[in-house]
Amino acid sequence: MPNPAAVYCEQQGGTLAPVQTPQGVRSDCKLPNGEVIDEWTLWRRDHSNTKK
């Protein structure tokens, strides 16, 4: 099953970039407008009304 945050990033025209942190590796999404944002932060921001 694909990562929904990664899929959403790519659907928005973004590219994923792995980032090494002390906790492990996470991915940032670089959007076409130049914004760089954590993939899950982007997903949560744009899906704040989605019911769980």
- Of 20, 41, 44, give the one whose Cα is nearest residue 29: 41
Q: What is the pLDDT of residues 11-40, one digit of tens each?
A: 999 999 999 999 999 999 999 999 999 999
Taking the C-alpha atoms of residue 23 and residue 48, their distance in angstroms, rounded to an integer, is: 25
22: number of CA atoms within 13 Å, CB side? Answer: 0
* Exposure string for 8-30, b = 16+ CB within 10 A, e = fewer: bbeeeebeeeeeeeeeeeebbbe
Residues written for the chain: 52
Residue 49 confidence class, pLDDT cut points 50, 70, 90: confident
Q: Is 52's pLDDT higher than 60?
A: no
